[in-house]
């Protein structure tokens, strides 16, 4: 056994894909042996109801490079990827789906784009898809909205075939349905060298798709969540404090205007007046003051929570260090 570091981790989340696993594993093995890569394959069984785990156990027993992780129930693709990222040992982590619609023949080119071009992340682009229009049309709309909001110029955020530099997956955290937004999360965490590669999209050979149209709804909500957390996650007072101050100011201005208007009518113009509390605008102003105060307090409490939660050094990614060698310090050089 060699002690050289693993070059590539192929991470494959799956749910009920027992038919495709042996063929996929053999295909990956052939590609890796032809290229001479040191590699590992990690299957993450997301609570499959079929015999997928039995197949993984058999593949792992027959092949030392195959590893398997099994969830007690179905947690979702994001959870499977996050768990696999934590277990991956490769210098480059390549993710792909288990349904044989992603081609392992793309692995060498993806690896070289990371190692030779210095990219942090490469996302596959299934330019020609073998999907019905009921799936391709929402996908195009989803990608267009994501590009607009995130500023990441990718054509296919939802493509499961992606390559990552090791540091990227070790310093990001995904949850919910955020797996399709990993390029966005990576960029907002400082890993901005993102590339794209046109990849082959193969027709599904076994089984049926595990995703429905609801993924676009949940995905859009996750995008809003990511955008909010990225912009205000560490400075909630900037959002809640600003909104609270604005509402409090408007409510106060309206209240003083109502009071001043009444005083003017009483002592100067001698016009008919009514009590301030009889004006519906007063209650809207009072509501604005109360809500503004609550928003400001929410921002203040959020700031306290953030300051308490930021206690680990790995919350911030250090890319390089510059310091004198200890031997020079000790000798006074």
Contact 130, 201 (CB under 8 A): yes
Contact 88, 9 (CB under 8 A): yes
- Consecutive sets of 10 residues in the chain, 333 residues long: mean pLDDT of each? 84 94 95 95 94 94 93 91 94 94 95 96 86 70 82 88 96 84 88 93 69 62 71 76 91 91 84 81 92 89 70 51 54 50
Tally of structural domains, the chain? 2
The reply to whether 329 falls in a domain is no
- Residue 179 and residue 282 share a domain: no
- Residue 292 and residue 253 share a domain: yes
**Which residues sit opposite 4 in a β-bridge?**
none
The reply to whether 77 falls in a domain is yes
Given 186, 212, 231, which residue is the final one in a domain? 231
- Residue 203 and residue 120 share a domain: yes
Residue 327: per-residue pLDDT = 55
Residue 188: per-residue pLDDT = 84
Domain that holds residue 302: 236-309
pTM for this predicted structure: 0.71
Q: How far is CA 165 from CA 32, 65, 77, 131, 173, in A?
A: 18, 20, 20, 30, 15
- Residue 199 and residue 149 share a domain: yes
- Residue 295 and residue 276 share a domain: yes
- Residue 156 and residue 298 share a domain: no
Residue 149: per-residue pLDDT = 79
Residue 286: per-residue pLDDT = 92
What is the C-alpha separation between 106 and 97, in angstroms, rounded? 13
The reply to whether 118 falls in a domain is yes
- Residue 141 and residue 104 share a domain: yes
- Residue 206 and residue 166 share a domain: yes
- Residue 243 and residue 200 share a domain: no
């Amino acid at each position: 056994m060699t002690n050289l570091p693993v070059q590539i981790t192929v991470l494959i989340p799956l749910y009920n894909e027992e038919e495709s696993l042996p063929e996929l594993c053999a295909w990956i093995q052939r590609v890796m042996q032809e290229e001479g890569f040191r590699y590992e394959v990690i299957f993450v069984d997301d609570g499959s109801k079929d015999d997928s785990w039995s197949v993984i156990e058999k593949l792992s027993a027959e092949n030392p490079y195959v590893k398997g992780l099994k969830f007690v129930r179905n947690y979702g693709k994001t959870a499977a990827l996050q768990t696999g990222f934590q277990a991956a040992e490769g210098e480059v982590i390549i993710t792909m789906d288990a349904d044989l619609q992603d081609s392992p023949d793309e692995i060498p080119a993806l690896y070289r784009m990371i190692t030779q071009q210095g990219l942090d992340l490469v996302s596959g682009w299934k330019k020609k898809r073998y999907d019905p229009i009921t799936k391709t049309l929402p996908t195009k709309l989803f990608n267009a909205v994501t590009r607009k909001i995130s500023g990441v110029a990718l054509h296919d955020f939802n493509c499961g075939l992606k390559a990552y530099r090791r540091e990227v997956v070790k310093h990001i955290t995904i949850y919910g349905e955020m797996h399709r937004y990993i390029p966005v999360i990576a960029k907002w965490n400082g890993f901005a060298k993102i590339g794209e590669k046109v990849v082959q999209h193969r027709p599904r050979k076994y089984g049926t798709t595990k995703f429905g149209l609801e993924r676009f709804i949940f995905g859009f909500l996750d995008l809003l969540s990511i955008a909010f957390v990225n912009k205000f996650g560490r400075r909630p007072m900037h959002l809640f404090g600003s909104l609270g101050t604005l509402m409090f100011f408007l409510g106060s201005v309206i209240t003083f205007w109502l009071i001043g208007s009444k005083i003017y009518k009483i002592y100067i113009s001698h016009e008919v007046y009514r009590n301030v509390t009889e004006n519906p605008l007063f209650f809207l102003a009072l509501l604005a003051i109360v809500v503004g105060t609550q928003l400001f307090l929410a921002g203040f409490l959020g700031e306290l929570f953030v300051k308490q939660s930021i206690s680990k050094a790995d919350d911030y990614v250090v890319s390089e260090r510059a310091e004198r060698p200890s031997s020079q310090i000790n000798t006074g050089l």
